[in-house]
């Protein structure tokens, strides 16, 4: 190929990168345009050979890589692995292993409080980042959600909203759905499902059961009752349609779509791709339409989302309600069942803690399922909080980005340029010895008790020489600020009631020969955690 056309090809590659010098392609059309249109245009102007096409892509790739590792990149001053600066594919590959939460933690231990984890991504692990990033004047969700929920382009779910005003308006409706009055409406639903769970486990006394699976079925039944007024019977019928299994199998792909938003868009174009999640979402849509058509005998979450009370000046559309309600089932059920499974695993790994919690339950002479009674049970709540400290509901946090058009956002002494994703990595933060000490990686519910309560427990957990650090501001298992988890109190309510029910009726132990280390090995961070089996043998309490 002549020298002059080759120069034109190389310059075209450099120019193409200049158009995208800050943000990786966020949509499939943009990605296709980046890779295909320039060579096609050149083909119309000059004769291209295989060598010249290769030269274009080499020039484009070299320009992208050199810019990202150069001192001219806006994130050049932030430390992090060299390969993560070059491409988001590196982090995407780590994420697919299910251990991105551990990888992030290791990066922070190596590089410090702020780490560059991608070409245009930062991870923070200090309390100084919480309010500036997540508070009322913080940053909205990032384009990470565009990939994870590509079908919600026109009507975004509350989880993915990036407009602060629209988020505030929609969140007001959700707050009514989880108010104190609303939670009392849901109490009978949880009690009925708990009775069903108790009977199912009672029939299996003396046998090995996968407690994690039963807790997952229970929380899905509860959330469908609370969101749509019913329609699912996983505890009774099992996963006969395969929806639950397909949803769990899709979790790794959903995370990959978040890291590579253009890939997420392809799921809406390619028939048969992401079949599991599409079937799950179609099921949620049918539940929403059925609930709207037939009504419900109780004030469920749908009642508030569709504004059946007529409190909103502009009634929400059915599309908006569907967009919000289907993620609520998955997010609410999965995070609660994972937290409960983690808690029972930790209790069975720590016999002293198990016995102390059992003793507190034995000392209660009121209705154990009464929410107000449970709130006063200090050791019960300490066990729940300690579980959520070690294993927050979303292990790696939810990515934020500066408001579009803002130019960037200050996080303390650090500046996050527009087009940069940032996260407060809760798994790392909540295990930091600066905020929780001693033994920040150990399950010690006593750290949540007052000094007097700690001293009253024998044997003592902490030594008299230990410096006890307990910074509750670093405890953000449900996120923080105006976009925190709307269903936080419902999750606490369910967890308390399940623990009280199971531990008052049964003695629990691991299956003989079970290696307890397998539980943590099998716990995968796919934004929503995916669990392994928890083989437990139950027996009747005397």
- What's the angle, vertex CA 391, arms to CA 156 and CA 513, rounded to 5? 125
Q: Where are the beta strands (DSSP E) in 81-235?
A: 114-118, 121-124, 208-210
Q: Where are the alpha helices (DSSP H) in 376-411?
A: 378-390
Instruction: Check: CB of residue 525 under 8 Å from CB of residue 258.
Output: no
DSSP designation for 317: P
Distance between start and end Cα atoms, the chain:
88
Distance between CA atoms of residues 379 and 447, nearest Å: 10
For 202-244, the DSSP string reads HTTTTSEEEHHHHHHHHHHHHHHHHHHS----HHHH-STTSHH
The alpha carbon of 53 is separated from its chain's Cα centroid by a whole number of angstroms, namely 42
Q: Which of 79, 137, 74 is nearest to 418 (CA)?
A: 74
**Any binding-site annotation on 485?**
yes
DSSP designation for 539: E
Q: Which of 500, 491, 533, 490 is nearest to 194 (CA)?
A: 500
Residue 29: burial class (beta carbons within 10 Å; 0-12, 13-18, 19+): exposed
Q: Which of 421, 389, 367 is nearest to 84 (CA)?
A: 421
Q: Which of 446, 441, 443 is nearest to 458 (CA)?
A: 446
Q: Which residues are annotated as a binding site for heme?
A: 485
Binding site: residue ranges?
485
């Amino acid at each position: 190929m002549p020298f002059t056309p080759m120069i034109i090809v190389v310059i075209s590659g450099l120019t193409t990168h200049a158009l995208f010098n800050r943000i990786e392609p966020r949509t499939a059309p943009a990605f296709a345009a980046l890779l295909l249109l320039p060579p096609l245009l050149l083909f119309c102007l000059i004769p291209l050979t295989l060598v010249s096409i290769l030269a274009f892509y080499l020039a484009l790739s070299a320009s992208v890589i050199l810019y990202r590792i150069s001192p001219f990149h806006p994130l050049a001053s932030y430390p992090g692995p060299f390969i993560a600066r070059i491409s988001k594919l590196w982090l995407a590959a780590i994420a697919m292993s299910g251990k991105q939460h551990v990888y992030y933690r290791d990066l922070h231990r190596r590089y410090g409080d702020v780490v560059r984890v991608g070409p245009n991504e930062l991870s923070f692990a200090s309390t100084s980042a919480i309010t500036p990033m997540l508070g009322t004047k913080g940053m909205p969700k990032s384009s990470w959600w565009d990939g994870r929920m590509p079908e919600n382009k026109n009507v975004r779910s509350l989880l993915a909203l990036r407009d602060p005003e629209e988020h505030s308006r929609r969140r007001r409706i959700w707050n009514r759905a989880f108010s104190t009055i609303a939670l009392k409406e849901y109490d009978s639903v949880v009690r009925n499902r708990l009775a069903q769970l108790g009977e199912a486990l009672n029939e299996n006394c003396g046998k090995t059961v996968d407690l994690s699976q039963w807790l997952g079925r229970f929380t899905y039944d509860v959330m469908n009752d609370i969101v749509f007024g019913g329609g699912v019977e996983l505890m009774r019928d099992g996963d006969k349609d395969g929806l639950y299994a397909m949803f769990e199998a899709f979790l790794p792909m959903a995370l990959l779509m978040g890291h590579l938003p253009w890939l997420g868009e392809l799921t809406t174009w390619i028939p048969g791709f992401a079949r599991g999640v599409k079937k799950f979402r179609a099921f949620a849509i049918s539940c929403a339409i059925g609930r709207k058509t037939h009504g419900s005998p109780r004030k469920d979450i749908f009642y508030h989302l569709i504004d059946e009370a007529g409190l909103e000046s502009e009634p929400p559309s059915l599309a908006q309600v569907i967009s919000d309600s289907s993620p609520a089932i998955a997010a609410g059920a999965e995070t609660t069942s994972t937290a409960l499974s983690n808690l029972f695993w930790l209790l069975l790994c720590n016999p002293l803690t198990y016995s102390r919690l059992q003793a507190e339950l034995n000392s209660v002479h009121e209705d154990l399922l009464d929410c107000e009674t449970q709130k006063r049970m200090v050791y019960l709540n300490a066990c729940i909080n300690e579980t959520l400290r070690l294993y927050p509901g979303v292990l790696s946090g939810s990515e934020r980005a500066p408001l579009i058009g803002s130019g960037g956002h200050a996080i303390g002494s650090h500046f996050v340029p527009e087009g940069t994703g940032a996260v407060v990595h809760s798994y790392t933060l909540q295990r930091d010895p600066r905020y929780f000490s001693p033994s920040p990686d150990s399950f010690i519910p006593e750290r949540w008790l007052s000094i007097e309560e700690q001293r009253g427990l024998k044997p003592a957990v902490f030594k008299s020489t230990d410096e006890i650090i307990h910074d509750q501001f670093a405890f953000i298992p449900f996120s923080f600020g105006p976009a925190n988890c709307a269903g936080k109190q419902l999750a606490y309510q369910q967890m308390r009631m399940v623990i009280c029910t199971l531990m008052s009726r049964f003695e629990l132990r691991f299956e003989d020969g079970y290696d307890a280390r397998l539980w943590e090995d099998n716990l995968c961070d796919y934004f929503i955690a995916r669990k392994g089996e928890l083989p437990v043998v139950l027996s009747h309490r005397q």
